[in-house]
Amino acid sequence: MALKEIVEQTVAGLGYDLVEIERSAGGLLRITIDLPWLAPSADHSVEEQFVTVEDCEKVTRQLQFALEVDQVEYRRLEVSSPGIDRPLRHTQDFERFVGHTIDVTLKQPLGAAVASGQVNANRKKFRGVLERVDAVAAAAPVMPAEPSWQIVWRDEIVAKPGQKISKKRALPPLQALGFVISELKEARLAPIVSFKGRSAAQPLDESEPI
């Protein structure tokens, strides 16, 4: 059985979600897990819980046994919770983090036709607040529509050395980039440190910069 299958089955069997598998130099096998996400209902929100040390220890013990049975070679196993730059790969990940600031990297440059002179046509990397938009049309009538998303941002005002920016100065306009997951090379939560924990941001307001 392949490594990914072993890890996925083991982690899921214990009631966790597999976030990432990494093999590093020196034989380190790093597994990142998370607790399953429960979408908030219409009448109340769900308080988000986080992976504990005990969770990681439980998964580690079970993975050590499973990997030994299938004779998977590794020197050291490390099981941890997602960091502040958690990868987003599946539709559920994007649903979960709507309202958060994320970093996305496109597989292909934006292109002049889409950029419309507002951003560099060769640009692939963007940071903005994640929003859900209406589903895009399917490529074929028999195929289901792929969920569509967008990030919204406002470019920072760049001041010259020694120059002060007036508070009355007009803010740069909001910009939006629409995409579907298949267009992305990578997507991650933006590594923004907050002592209040991981919570959804409020929608962007025209009077406030990002």
Buried b (16+ CB within 10 A) or exposed e, 38-55: eeeeeeeeeeeeebeeeb
Domain covering 3-80 in this structure, CATH number? 3.30.300
Rounded-to-integer distance, Cα 126 and Cα 200, Å: 19
Task: Please compute the mean of the pLDDT values over residues 162-185 and round it to a whole number.
Answer: 81
pLDDT value at residue 21: 94
Whether residue 131 is predicted with pLDDT greater than 70 in this model: the reply is: yes
Pick the more confident residue, 162 or 6: 6
pLDDT value at residue 173: 81
Q: How far is CA 199 from the centre of its chain?
A: 14
Q: In the chain, what percentage of residues exceed pLDDT 70?
A: 74
pLDDT value at residue 192: 81
Query: For the chain, which residues make up each domain, given as ranges?
Result: 3-80, 91-189
Task: Please compute the mean of the pLDDT values over residues 164-185 and round it to a whole number.
Answer: 82
Answer for the pair 19, 32: CB distance below 8 angstroms, yes or no: yes
pLDDT value at residue 93: 94
Whether residue 186 is predicted with pLDDT greater than 80 in this model: the reply is: yes
The β-bridge partners of 177 are 151
Whether residue 29 is predicted with pLDDT greater than 50 in this model: the reply is: yes
Quote the mean pLDDT of the chain.
82
Give 105-123 pLDDT, tens digit per residue: 999 987 765 656 677 788 8
How does DSSP assign 72-141, residue by residue? ---SEEEEE---TT-B--SHHHHHHTTTSEEEEEESS---HHHHTTTS-TT--EEEEEEEEEPPPPPSST
3-state secondary structure of 40: coil
Give 57-90 pLDDT, tens digit per residue: 999 999 999 999 999 999 999 999 998 999 999 9
What is the model's pTM? 0.76
Rounded-to-integer distance, Cα 89 and Cα 68, Å: 28
